Structure 1
Amino acid sequence: MADEELDKGTDAAATQDEAQKAWDKPDTQADDDATETTESDDTAADQKDADEAGQKESDDEDLDLPMDKIEALLSADNTDKKSMSPQLRRVAQRQAENSKRVEETIKGTKANPSWFVPLFCFLMILGLAWAVVYYLTSKYPIPGIGAWNLLIAFCIVMVGFIMTMWWR
Structure 2
Amino acid sequence: MASDLELCAMRQASTLAVLGLGTTSPNPPVGCVILDQRGTVVGAGSLRRKGEPHAEAHALDAAGGAARGGTTVVTLELCNHVGVTPACRHELIDAGISRVVIAVIDPTSRGDGPAAMLIAAGIEVETDVLRGEALTVLEPWLTRRCAVGRS
Q: TM-score, normalised by structure 1?
A: 0.20
Higher gyration radius (CA): 1
Q: In proportion to residue count, which structure has more strand?
A: 2
Comparing both chains, which one has the higher relative contact order based on Cα–Cα distances under 8 Å and sequence gaps of 6 or more? 2
Q: TM-score, normalised by structure 2?
A: 0.21
Q: In proportion to residue count, which structure has more helix?
A: 1
